[in-house]
Structure 1
Amino acid sequence: MNALLRCARAEAVRLRKWPAFWVLLGTWVVLNLTFVYVFNYIAYKSGDASTMSNGLPRDLLLRQMLPAAVPEVFTQGMAMFGGALMLILGALTVGSGYGWGTWKTVFTQGPSRTSALGGTLVALAVTTVSLVMAAFVVDVGVAAVIASSESQAIVLPSVSQSLLGLGSGVLILGMWTMFGVLIGAIARGPALAVGLGLVWVLVVENLLRGVASLLGPVKAITDYLPGTAAGSLAGTLRSVKGDPVPGVLDILSRPESIAALAIYLSLFAAGTMWLIRRRDLV
């Protein structure tokens, strides 16, 4: 346990000093604010219920930008764009260790492979939780400013809704991060891992869901893909149904989505651990 904690602290220091780490996290926060508040606020003020605002009328559009709606709206981009960024982070974190040769040094001279990789997973888990909480706080602050500027009562989300939104966000982003970790271990390099991960998130799953309506056996599989589970969980949080949000689905129920994401997260983490422990370094 002491070795695991030391490895986690060392990995946390490495991540904090890595520019790519802050670029990825900062990009997600900016994208979250842009798609949830900036575009919608422009559409609200202009009175144009265009695709920019998913076709919502002005009253519903304003309601979606108030503090009480934060738990449901801040997870909408996690299923695809936020998940893709966290997948990149996981792939870079593990894949760069092979590219730089640091895994070889750590595994041959440092602690056990289990402790070294376990420390990396712990650091990434803390990062995911911290990012979700930071995005939630930032969104609540921005929503409060919008409510005040539009002479609306500032009503904070309930504790239960907040916990549901935070937990859903951690589960969605955590699953995609572990997926990136696994791909990074399989590819043994950052570039190929990032490329394969993005192709899966942005292309492969969408193509499979596109042909699922024509092929029954394919639909049985696509209904439980990682992206489907993440999008379905984000979809269960929506109280206002507008035009489809990219990556947000209504296929699985909330319990099914949570179970599928938990299984995927566990399988990705266990698969990465097994692969790194059993495989040669070269």
Structure 2
Amino acid sequence: MHNIRAELAKQVHRPASWLLLAIAVVQTITFAYIIPYAGSGGPVSRGLDAMLPSGFVSSSIAGLPLFIGALALIFGVLVAGSEYGWETWKTVLAQRPSRLSVYGAKLVTVAVGTFVMVLALMAFSAATSAVIAGIEGRPMAWPGVLDILQGFGAGWLVSTMWGALGVLLAILLRGVALPIGLGLVWMLAIQNLLSAIAAPMLDFIAQLQKGLPGPNAGSLVAAITGPNQAPGVDALVSGGPAALVVTAYLIAFAGIGGWLLRRRDII
């Protein structure tokens, strides 16, 4: 608990953590509400009903498989990778917590950070949808508690998986800049190229992507929001198997990161 409190305090006082949260909220509200409400057309079609309170859960988590998930990955990199840039690993470990204790505290910090992020996205999305419903004179029909909890759980699972990948990349590459760069290239470029270009032409690529983290994250969100709510949200597999695959990747990323930190030299 001392390690967890120390890690949480470190991130709470870090402006970059709040900047990532602010970017996630602004990006979600802008692309899920403001732009669709102000105009029409584009590759993702959103009618007025999708922007009302009944659809706020879908609006808040639709960006997590790709764009908002990239911010969770950056957060994970910062939580673990900054120790290499600041050269503080030796200082922390010299105070006699074990490597795995410190590593576990970092994973808990990532989980708490993604919890706060998903909670903020849902809160701001709910408020924005209520404003739109008031402007349009539409009834305030909110989804059920179970639907809200299900959407929150799926969003938290997906974002925590991306955060754990960020932690793993930071430990593997011992830094911040390169892990962020490679992580974003994978999430925003390679995954999209595989799905949009390679998969339609090569059947084995189409089957292979069903086992990758991004498509399964998108399938899990699509099971709740419906497909094509945002880029990367597509029902390639059903919701149950997608949740299992995302959970397996989360456990694998966390386990490999801990093994690397324990076995390798710090510098």
Q: Identify whether the pair has TM-score above 0.5, normalized to the shorter chain.
A: yes
Unaligned runs of 5+ in 2: none
Which runs of structure 1 show a deviation greater than 3 angstroms over 4 or more consecutive aligned residues? none
Deviations 1:109-139 (A, max 9, x none): 3311111111111111111112111211111
Residue 26 of structure 2 is aligned to residue 27 of structure 1: no
Distance in structure 2 (CA, Å) of the matches to 1:213 and 1:50? 25
2:128 aligned residue: 142
Q: How many residues align?
A: 266
Residue 261 of structure 2 is aligned to residue 276 of structure 1: yes
Residue 116 of structure 2 is aligned to residue 108 of structure 1: no
* Alignment check: 8 A CA contact 1:71 1:164 kept: no
Residue 41 of structure 2 is aligned to residue 50 of structure 1: yes
Of 241, 253, 257, the residue aligned with 2:242 is 257
Residue 147 of structure 2 is aligned to residue 161 of structure 1: yes
Of 191, 200, 210, the residue aligned with 2:177 is 191
Measure how far apart 1:220 and its partner are. Answer: 2.5
Deviations 1:84-121 (A, max 9, x none): 11101111211111111111221233311111111111
1:46 aligned residue: none
Q: Compute the RMSD of aligned alpha carbons.
A: 1.5
* Alignment check: 8 A CA contact 1:98 1:104 kept: no
1:73 aligned residue: 59
Unaligned runs of 5+ in 1: 44-48
* Alignment check: 8 A CA contact 2:77 2:170 kept: yes
Q: How do 1:88-237 residues align onto structure 2 when only pairs under 5 Å count? A: 88-209=74-195, 210-237=197-224
Distance in structure 1 (CA, Å) of the matches to 2:11 and 2:103? 14
Measure how far apart 1:166 and its partner are. Answer: 0.3
Measure how far apart 1:71 and its partner are. Answer: 1.5
* Alignment check: 8 A CA contact 2:84 2:175 kept: yes
Q: Report the residue type matching 1:226 in the other structure.
A: P
Q: TM-score, normalised by structure 2?
A: 0.95
Distance in structure 1 (CA, Å) of the matches to 2:170 and 2:137? 49
Equivalent position SS for 1:175: helix
Deviations 1:138-196 (A, max 9, x none): 11111111111111111121011101110111011111111111001101000011011
Measure how far apart 1:79 and its partner are. Answer: 1.0
Q: Percent identical across equivalent pairs? A: 39
Distance in structure 1 (CA, Å) of the matches to 2:184 and 2:236? 22
Q: TM-score, normalised by structure 1?
A: 0.90
